[in-house]
Amino acid sequence: MIGFILADIRRHKAGTLAILLLVAVAVALAVSVILQERALRLGSARAANAFDLVIGAAGSETQLVLSSIFLQAAPLPLMDGAVFQRLATDPRVAFAAPIGFGDSFAGYPLVGTSSALVAHLSPQLQEGAGFRREGDAVIGAAVDLAMAAVIKPMHGTAEGGGHTHTGIAYSVVGRMKPTGTPWDRAILVPIQAVWDLHGMGHAEADHAEAEGEQAKHSSAGPASGDLEHSADPAAALDEDWAAHAAGLPAVLVKPRTIADAYKLRQEYRSGTTLAVFPGEVLTRLYATLGDAKVLLLAVAIGTQALIAAALLLVTIMHVAQRRRQIGALRAFGAPRTVVFRIIWFQLFAIVLAGIFLGFGLGYLASEIIGNIVSRQNGFTMPVMFDSEDIVFAASVVAFAAVLAVVPAVLAYRQSPAAALKG
């Protein structure tokens, strides 16, 4: 029987290939939707796990997390520097890292922060050293810059019509180890230099001026038409936050205990500040992603149903065209059950091969998309199969087995005399 089926497949290569590809494309579409949703969920969760609590000015929780953890460019309102000063000296806080962003270089986000955050993200650097002077820069593992490279920060991005700051040029002194987060594509510089560069640094007058112009500022500094300020790249690093802290879009906080985390969250969720657990915000985003996944899967299943109907029509026509062949088999003494098994097994084998090819194509497509997203956003997209996929694969195989029954039954019911006459 196997030899007969293989010979028949060779005689009808074009039709066999068409059926196989139709099935593969339909399955690949559904598999890629499932794998991409899972990869995005796992990748974003791993990226957020590096941070316990984010505190910023009152506003959108989602935008606060996307900007401060995933480094998605968007203007955030600034909260008063006194908030950061209180957090830096709070006994419930293991460390509080200031975040100032809005500048970029060569397409990489440039983030003003502290030595504590560098040590938190990469306890041991891949090469070089941490901050010593205001002109030092530590780059993420995925930043394509060499040690000692000169960085001239740009306000905003080149695509958005940003302008290059002339008040400072940073020098790369260290590179972090891979973290699997968007910070692998970030350039970290001392927050003091960012404050000085945007006129928020050493004088209370500058601080007051920056507060007064806050409505015109992005998260990092003044707009293109504002007065350019300067920072001293050779100035020694000064992280005495009790002495001075300017306005900030966000602070990343590491509480000492879980109880401290909930107390801090409650305390800073009132008035002019907002405190969030990144995991909670992502859970709400996952719910939205889940709705989108259901919609995409519905489209994929609809596509599969149409392809199944087309396959059924093609196979029925194929059986009709082989009436003489089937009649000859019956005339030479082949039982009905043998004819049934031949037709069923041939179609099922083709569809089964298409299912396996579809899973492979779906995985490959997800890997390609995941790599593109990872390069653009920094965090790793782990594409992997799960136990749920076994259930999905089993259901598709079962459906294919049932689908193959229809043409097999038609062949089974054919009379050899009628078939030979036709």
- Between the alpha carbon of residue 221 and those of residues 201, 208, 235, 241, 371, the distances in Å are 12, 14, 20, 19, 32
Domain boundaries, the chain: 2-45+284-421, 53-276
Q: So what's the pLDDT on residue 163?
A: 66
Global pTM?
0.71
Check if the beta carbon of residue 188 is closer than 8 Å to that of residue 116: no
**Cβ atoms < 10 Å from Cβ of 123:** 9
Structure tokens at 346: 């041939």
Check if the beta carbon of residue 91 is closer than 8 Å to that of residue 213: no
The strand ranges marked E within 106-207 are: 108-113, 127-128, 136-139, 150-151, 154-155, 163-164, 170-175, 187-190
Closest by CA to 66, choosing from 44, 84, 89, is: 44
Q: So what's the pLDDT on residue 362?
A: 92
pLDDT along the chain (422 residues), means of 10: 61 76 85 85 81 90 88 84 90 92 87 92 92 92 92 70 73 92 91 81 44 43 48 81 81 93 91 88 74 69 73 68 60 67 82 90 91 75 86 86 79 58 52
Backbone φ, ψ for residue 161 (5° rounding) = 80, 30
